[in-house]
Amino acid sequence: MDQQAQTLLLTLKRSSAASDAKLTQLNNLKSDIKHHRVPDSAQPIIFECLRVALTQQASSTLATAAFTTLGHLLKRLKIQDPDGSAIVQHAPKLFPALQERLGDLRENHRNAASQAFADAWHFCAHDVEHIIRDEVIPGANVRAKDTAMHWVVRMNREEALPFKSFVPLMVANLEDHDGAVRDSAKSALVDLFRNAPDRAKADLKRQLNLHGVRTGIASQILTQIDSDKASAPAIDMSQSTRSLPAIDPHLAESINSEAARPPPPEEVPMDPIFVHSQRELEDTFSDMVPHFEGRESEENWGNRDKSVTKMRRLLKGNAPTDYHTLFMSSIKHMQAGIIKVANSLRTTTSTNACYLVQELARTLGPALDSMVEIYLQTFVKMCAATKHIAAQNGNQTVDTIYQYVSYNIRTMQHVWIACQDKNVQPRTFASGWLRTILSRQVGAKSHFESTGGLELAEKCVKHGLNDSQPKVKEAMRATYWALAKIWPNRAELIMNTLDPKAKIALEKHSLNPNASTSSASTLRTSTASRAGAASKSSVRDAIMAARKKAQAESRPNSAMASVSPATVRSKSSNNLSARQPSAGPPASARVPSTASTSSSTSTSARPNALMSGAARRPVRRPEIARPATADPYASRRLARPETPSIKSPVTSPRQEVASTSVGTSASKSRTDRGSPALSPPTLNGSASVDSVIPVIADDTFSMELPTVHRSHVPVFERRASHLSTVDATTDTQPSEPQHTRRASDRNDSPVTISHQPSPHRESASPQAEEAAFQIHEDPFMEGIEASEAQKTQQSQDARSVLGEVPVNEFSQVATAESSNREEMPRTEDSPPQSPQTKSETLRSRKLLMSGIERIRGRTLDAHGFRKVLELIKSSESGEIFGSVGEGRRFDDLCSVLLEYIVESSDAAGNPAVRHSQELRRQATSVMRTVLNAQQPPYRKWIASGRWYPRALTGALDARKNVEGSGLLVKDLEALASDIVARVHPDEGEKAIIEWLEHCSMVRKNKAVALALRNLAALIASTTITASPLSRDLGERAGRLAVVSLRSKDAEVRKSSVELATQLHVSWPSDAESQGDAKSEFWSMLDKNGLQESARNLIVYFIARRERSN
């Protein structure tokens, strides 16, 4: 198996090997792993084979086979060694490749990578959780984030993975710019916290508030979490023997009464808020109290409205039931503030407060009795407001209070006071309140009579029936008949006190049960008379309309052009005309249209016109499916407006044409067909490229390659491949017509679109007689034109992006010579390089040099940075930078990257410096990749250039120029962490200390805090690596810690305390002064001016650390 694995590794690393051969050898190895024992000597080779197979993008089948082989390998190694020592030793080599596959385009590859991490978690839990938590979830790849969050849910469900450390990162993804990430984060949090304890849910709510998650998203998550609570079991009443009470005959009337109607639906639906502890509810109300202090102003009215809305949401949650006592006391404490909001002049805010009081009455019921008095005084007074909306809100609120709270004599007194109010509105509304009270007191008549409520009710009814306002009397009549159903004798006495006119009006009221028999004849007589008069008038109107229509002048046909309003016929007239016999021919059905039909209508109504028939539109053809080529815009849906070539002036210079390879079959079919509407003839009979090829955005990245001795030049598949036509002298091969290509090029080369030269171009350009062919050019190669000219001793004119390229007859010779000069020296262990591999290496090296020049000139875009990163990753042994002893290219790349990262993004006066933070993130990613490389050439170049300390101080300088805590800050902190993990402690400590000594702490607190944390980490690593801290560096670090403790920034003080604590642990001690080492530490701090309060703080944290250890 050793020889088989070695052969597979060589095959996988050879780029010229066929994919089928790689797949066959990998499957053979997988079969041997399934059936035989894997020897220890073959294990590292097999893991390396799987890593190479997973990183290759050429074949998806090969990656799938690698995933299945990895699964069988882990199972076999677990059987051979249950402790998994081999997995712990070799599996981390695969983690970068698996992490990249988590964001793969193919879902099966993402699932396979997730399963691989799940299998490796049993042996490398710390490393796997670090990758998922710290790199994938906060990363930039959308698909990787989604897969990682689902991985956490799955591992928690299957393996009981503790998820507390993942929660802040998932909560941060709730505000991600991508909708899929937000949905995945919501579903993941709901799944994780569905069965979590209340303490964990409170922590989730705290995280949601800390990250500023939108209220709608947070409410949706908390609602879904609490909606799964198990409902209380139903009580079995089948064995109950309790006898039912006698049914009150007025019960049905009470239930069906107007006052017992269900609450109206919410104007604006809102989600409930669930609280998980008494402390949380106290904090919620405590945050509201400051907003209700003082008078309403422009600053506090919005917060007051939000607080009222929050109380309504709390009322819909679990607070009134689970924490009833605290909730009631808090609501009573907030009563004055609620009344202030209800009396606001802002209608929306006042309405919101009224809704709150109504919902309090419905939800709490008699528990609100202690607060009813003040609420009634406020809202009865509000009923007299001149604003109609405010008066109606007060009426509904008072009616709701009377419907749900307990009755007492004070409530009836408020009704009596409202009946005597000088304003009409309270007197009108009081009748409705009284009906509500009476409907609720049907079952407690004796209590209502004994407390004096009936006497007050009689006084209210008498006062309302004798009121001067008809509206008040009409409303009170309905209340009278409600009273008559319950106390008929008392109602009869009230009627006897009325004057005859008021008595007749009361008897004719619609709610009088005897009103139908007394007034039936009168109603019938009046109705018949009104109906007869109406029928006569309608006949008279119809006759007059017919006469006017007959006497109307007929319009001439010349008036058809004028637009007249279309006549609108009523439904009754249409039905009448449909029933009458028609003298003319039957009207044909017409297709509805948006045009006016008045002209045709008026023409058909004139029998003496020149055109006796109605003006008709041509018959509309039925809708049938049309071929794609029938659409004149089938291939013209452009990304942005384009300028046709035929409209340009004759003397205009030749324009560059950006084109793309036609990828879809639909595009091919539309392009290959010669539709007249699609490709109109031009001056020479060939279509313009602008009319069929969409224009791509300008920020794309393309490849410019020199001509080499190869039969086929591979094309980098990117968002846009710029094709330039170059005139060359050739008569052997005629130019192919447009939209045609050879069958052999369909799978290998992009679609070639050739231009036929225009007659105007022939007169303007001396090279117009030459045929056209395509070369792949790229602005990425502009940066090294001068250096290549020096090497080949040829002078070439600089070319503009996508401009015309003159033919270089010596380019092949120059490329061959440069290939011989820059050939990489081969090591003894490396396999022999083929000519194709040499040319690819040379091309990659030239692309890298061009990228360095463009980074230096601040002209490289995000796609270019990704290409540079891909070139570095594809060169495992560093041959792209040259020989091992030559580190010039490596130093150039690191220096320009460091300058790019450090450079301030807010520099004024130079537009080239104002690059976005996204480009600096790309540069940081390239820098991390270069410094994390572990191959021997990279290690030697990094050590010779001292790039670890230089990059560390560069990251700190870059942190000074970035405000806030965005993604760039995280990348810079990750870069510093990577360097701290790899740099020698002495070098790193010296670099950070020198940086801090020369750095001013004014307006650079974030960078100083980062430097102090990294310095503490480096000092801690000296204990692990058994390399003691030098006394000189320790004293300098202690001096910086004392100075930082006096900073005004809390983060700097916290970092300085951590540094001082770590210095105490790692303080160097001699053999003779073992016991005095700590005293020397404290004397050093005192000598640098340590204050007593800072000393006590350091002592506390030192004791805390020792106790935890």
What is the pLDDT confidence band of residue 240, given thresholds at 50, 70 and 90?
Answer: very low
Single out the residue in 478, 513, 548 at which a domain terminates. 513
Instruction: Spell out where 591-674 has E strands.
Output: none
Residue 773 three-state SS: strand
pLDDT at 834: 59
- Is the domain of 926 the same as that of 1046? yes
Percent of the chain with pLDDT over 70: 64
pLDDT at 264: 53
pLDDT by residue (tens digit) across 104-117? 888 899 999 999 99
**151 assigned to some structural domain:** no
pLDDT by residue (tens digit) across 829-876? 444 555 667 787 788 888 888 888 888 888 888 888 888 888 888 776
In the beta sheet, which residues pair with residue 727? 772
- Is the domain of 322 the same as that of 380? yes
- Is the domain of 921 the same as that of 816? no
Q: Which amino acid is at 122?
A: H
What is the signed CA dihedral for 841, 846, 851, 853, rounded to 10 degrees? 150
Letter string b/e over residues 496-514, b meaning 16 or more CB atoms within 10 A of that residue's CB: eebeeeeeeebeeeeebee
What is the pLDDT confidence band of residue 356, given thresholds at 50, 70 and 90?
Answer: very high
Would you say 1028 and 985 are in contact if contact means Cβ atoms under 8 Å apart?
no
What is the pLDDT confidence band of residue 684, given thresholds at 50, 70 and 90?
Answer: very low
DSSP state of 337: H
**950 assigned to some structural domain:** yes
What is the pLDDT confidence band of residue 537, given thresholds at 50, 70 and 90?
Answer: low
The number of angstroms, rounded, from the C-alpha of 835 to the middle of its chain's C-alpha atoms is 49
Single out the residue in 80, 101, 136 at which a domain terminates. 136
Q: How far, CA to CA in Å, does 383 sit from each of 216, 344, 394, 429?
A: 34, 14, 5, 8
- Is the domain of 330 the same as that of 465? yes
Count of alpha carbons within 13 angstroms of residue 98, beta-carbon side? 27
CB neighbour list of residue 646: distance below 8 Å, 6 or more residues apart: 682, 683, 688
CB neighbour list of residue 1039: distance below 8 Å, 6 or more residues apart: 1088
CB neighbour list of residue 596: distance below 8 Å, 6 or more residues apart: 563, 566
pLDDT at 756: 40
pLDDT surpasses 60 at 600: no
Helices first, then strands: H and E counts in the chain = 50, 2
Largest CA distance in the chain: 132
DSSP state of 174: G
Mean pLDDT for the chain overall: 72
pLDDT at 512: 80
pLDDT surpasses 50 at 1058: yes
What is the pLDDT confidence band of residue 738, given thresholds at 50, 70 and 90?
Answer: very low
pLDDT surpasses 60 at 71: yes
pLDDT at 833: 55
DSSP state of 390: H
pLDDT at 150: 93
List the CATH number of the domain containing 403: 1.25.10.10
- Is the domain of 809 the same as that of 931? no
**521 assigned to some structural domain:** no
Phi, psi for 702 (deg, rounded to 5) = -130, 170
pLDDT at 55: 86
pLDDT surpasses 70 at 763: no
CB neighbour list of residue 88: distance below 8 Å, 6 or more residues apart: 123, 124
Q: How far, CA to CA in Å, does 687 sit from each of 597, 680, 740, 758, 773?
A: 44, 6, 13, 11, 17
Q: What share of the chain is helix, strand, coil (3-state, %, to 5)?
A: 60, 0, 35
pLDDT at 210: 87
Least confident among 69-73, 94-98, 447-451, 581-585: 581-585
The residue among 775, 729, 781 whose CA lies nearest residue 752 is: 775
- Is the domain of 808 the same as that of 878? no
Separation CA 590–CA 499 (nearest Å): 68
Count CB atoms within 10 A of the CB of residue 771. Answer: 16
Count CB atoms within 10 A of the CB of residue 1054. Answer: 17
**549 assigned to some structural domain:** no
What is the pLDDT confidence band of residue 430, given thresholds at 50, 70 and 90?
Answer: very high
Residue 774 three-state SS: strand
Could you tell me which residue, 429 or 1030, shows the higher pLDDT? Answer: 429
**99 assigned to some structural domain:** yes
- Is the domain of 806 the same as that of 875? no
**1053 assigned to some structural domain:** yes
pLDDT at 313: 92
**Which residues form the domain of 957?**
868-883+894-1108
H, E, C per residue of 795-838: CCCCCCCCCCCCCCCCHHHHHHHHHHHCCCCCCCCCCCCCHHHH
**15 assigned to some structural domain:** yes
pLDDT at 418: 92
pLDDT surpasses 70 at 413: yes
Length of the chain: 1109
Q: How far, CA to CA in Å, does 51 sit from each of 9, 136, 370, 874?
A: 10, 19, 74, 13
Q: Is the dihedral of CA 1091, 1092, 1097, 1099 positive or negative?
A: positive
What is the pLDDT confidence band of residue 783, given thresholds at 50, 70 and 90?
Answer: very low
pLDDT by residue (tens digit) across 319-347? 999 899 999 999 999 999 999 999 999 99
Could you tell me which residue, 581 or 494, shows the higher pLDDT? Answer: 494
Separation CA 940–CA 949 (nearest Å): 15
DSSP state of 180: H
Would you say 472 and 428 are in contact if contact means Cβ atoms under 8 Å apart?
yes
pLDDT at 885: 58
pLDDT by residue (tens digit) across 613-639? 444 444 444 444 445 444 443 434 434
Letter string b/e over residues 342-366, b meaning 16 or more CB atoms within 10 A of that residue's CB: bbbeeeebbbbbbbbbbbbbbbbee
Report, as an integer, the average pLDDT of 204-222.
87
Separation CA 270–CA 412 (nearest Å): 35
pLDDT at 697: 40
Separation CA 898–CA 846 (nearest Å): 21
- Is the domain of 798 the same as that of 873? no
pLDDT surpasses 60 at 879: yes
- Is the domain of 770 the same as that of 872? no
Give the CA radius of gyration of the chain.
44
Label the pairing between strands 771-776 and 723-728.
Answer: antiparallel
Would you say 165 and 207 are in contact if contact means Cβ atoms under 8 Å apart?
no
Query: Which of 81-85, 251-255, 726-730 is the most confident on average?
Result: 81-85
Burial class (CB in 10 A: 0-12, 13-18, 19+), 60: middle
pLDDT by residue (tens digit) across 980-1008? 888 888 888 888 888 888 876 555 788 88
Could you tell me which residue, 667 or 1059, shows the higher pLDDT? Answer: 1059
- Is the domain of 426 the same as that of 496? yes
Would you say 864 and 854 are in contact if contact means Cβ atoms under 8 Å apart?
yes
Single out the residue in 104, 136, 168 at which a domain terminates. 136
Residue 724 three-state SS: strand
Report, as an integer, the average pLDDT of 1035-1053.
86
CB neighbour list of residue 1042: distance below 8 Å, 6 or more residues apart: 1056, 1060, 1085, 1088, 1089, 1090, 1094
Report, as an integer, the average pLDDT of 277-304.
90
Would you say 773 and 807 are in contact if contact means Cβ atoms under 8 Å apart?
no
Report, as an integer, the average pLDDT of 488-515.
85
- Is the domain of 805 the same as that of 924? no
Phi, psi for 303 (deg, rounded to 5) = -65, -35
* Joined tokens for residue 247: 């049914």
Please tell me the total count of domains within the chain.
4
**878 assigned to some structural domain:** yes
- Is the domain of 996 the same as that of 915? yes
What is the signed CA dihedral for 161, 167, 172, 175, rounded to 10 degrees? 90
Could you tell me which residue, 730 or 89, shows the higher pLDDT? Answer: 89
pLDDT at 268: 59
Q: Please report where in the chains the tokens 């309405």 appear, as a residue.
A: 351
